[in-house]
A and B are shown apart, each in its own frame.
Chain A
């Protein structure tokens, strides 16, 4: 197994200027690895910094120190403090992110929301849409909804559209932020299957899941985030 994510001594503190400049330490000394074909689950109570770690890897939170290396185009590449272009490039080719909430773009049909990462990766429109449809079907989104913008969907449907968008691309690293929260049993099982298929394909995954049963099914290892507690 090849190391895909290698984090060394990463740390993050928020400085809240509007609250008198108070400093809010989130995590420090974050160090672990994720290899091909394994799913590592971050554990720890709410507020321990699990989501923050995912966001630091994806680059929507800045990293205040340390190293966040991912295998991008065959080379371990430090994304902490990297140029925006490099981070964007890594998101197109290397790292996918399934968040809890869909940031719906007005007017874009569900099918295209899901197909977009494939188009960005250079696949043709028809092929991208066909794969998007297949995945939406698997996640039990009825075909009559595919041409509608997901902003009109129920919370659970929106989340499934977002899951489809996250799982559709062929990127070698996936970050999963509670992918099964608020799903019913049937759809949770579909997501567990999708994760198993990604493992078969050698995808390295880092996940946050609160459901113990799901964690049992998907986790190869857990990393306890409380050991990175930054509170001095």
Chain B
């Protein structure tokens, strides 16, 4: 009666005993988990808990001091990220993965047009028909609720919320299978956050994306994720279904986090 027999899909990403130390300081200690296609995992914890370090290791931007991250490439083979060639890494970054930064300026080119920001990812994967690129870019702007009349404006003329939505469009246009998000609603007004969260939630559902979302905001975790990992001092201290961890927190630190939320 094992679960494997009824859900045949295989893990998309596997983290095994990941650790990262800076000299004597251990930023991340012995983190292991498995992410399946279409699953949204939230990593929550306070600043300094190691969640951003973990996200960087998972997305191949930082080499672990110990442990491995494996990812199932489109050919179905699970590969250790450390063993990938340059072309394969490029494929992941440009196509199969998205990375949404907290600060949209880090994920966008602020001086070129919104259309070019979205189209650039398509050109990087070999699209060369200008009309088709522009059409696809417009339809993505619409999807993230940006007025298509603003397609030729540079994102530096956009509001914070629009920039974040543009960053999401730029990431999703190549139909990635996995999106990393680092505090995607951080720094936005509450009303803008709600709109963005709702949009991300429906896009993730519609596209069947897997996502790893780092956030200190438990409401973001509640709304977006299926599963939660709670981090403290570089370790995962509690993990489980999102509503289970938030409704029935077991660890002292998780109880503290949950009880610190002000009811609306």
A associates with B: yes
User: A-side interface residues toward B, CB under 8 Å?
Assistant: 14-18, 55, 59-62, 73, 75, 77, 83-89, 105-108, 119-120
A145 to B154, CA, bound (A): 38
A163 to B194 alpha-carbon distance, docked (Å): 24
Residues in B with CB closer than 8 Å to A85 are 3, 7, 36, 39
Are B3's CB and A62's CB within 8 A?
Answer: no
* B residues with CB within 8 A of A: 1, 3, 6-7, 36, 39, 194-195, 197-198, 201-202, 205, 223, 226-227, 240-241, 243-244, 247-248, 250-252, 255-256, 259
Q: Are B247 and A106 in contact (CB under 8 A)?
A: no
Of all chain B residues, the one with the shortest Cβ separation from A62 is: B248
The residue from B197, B240, B256 contacting A18, defined by CB atoms under 8 A apart: B256
Among B198, B252, B255, contact of A106 (Cβ-Cβ < 8 Å) = B198
Q: Cβ of B252 and Cβ of A17 under 8 Å apart?
A: yes
- The chain B residue with its CB closest to the CB of A56 is B248
Alpha-carbon distance between A190 and B194 when the two chains are bound, in angstroms: 33
Complex Cα gap A106–B256 (Å): 26
Given A62-B248, A85-B3, A85-B7: A17 and B255 interface contact (C-beta under 8 Å): yes
Does B227 lie within 8 Å of A84, measured CB to CB?
A: yes
| Contacting pair A75 B248 (CB below 8 A) | no
Quick check: A16 and B255 within 8 Å, CB to CB? yes
User: Is the CB–CB distance between B247 and A60 below 8 Å?
Assistant: yes
Pair A105/B198 contact, Cβ less than 8 Å: yes
Q: Report A43 CB to chain B, min CB distance, Å.
A: 24
Task: Provide the main secondary structure of the chain B interface.
Answer: helix
Tell me if B7 and A89 are in contact (CB < 8 A): yes
- Give the complex CA separation of A83 and B244 in angstroms: 12
Assess whether B197 is in contact with A84, with CB atoms less than 8 Å apart. no
Contacting residues, chain A, for B39 (C-beta < 8 A): 85
- Let me know if A55 and B247 touch, CB within 8 A: yes
What are the 3 A-B residue pairs with the smallest beta carbon separation, nearest first?
A17-B252, A106-B194, A60-B243
Chain B residues with CB below 8 A from A108, complex form:
198, 202
Q: Give 5 CB contacts A-B under 8 Å.
A: A62-B250, A83-B3, A84-B226, A88-B241, A89-B7
Q: In the complex, A17 Cα to B255 Cα: how many Å?
A: 7
Give, as a whole number of angstroms, the nearest-CB distance from B42 to chain A: 12
Question: Which B residue sits closest to A21, measured CB to CB?
Answer: B252
**Bound state CA distance, A44 and B252, in angstroms?**
31
Query: With the chains together, A60 CA to B223 CA distance in Å?
Result: 15
Given the contacts A61-B244, A62-B250, A18 and B255 also touching, CB distance less than 8 Å? yes
A61 with B247: in contact, given A18-B256, A83-B3, A106-B198 (CB under 8 Å)? yes
Which B residue's beta carbon lies closest to that of A86?
B3
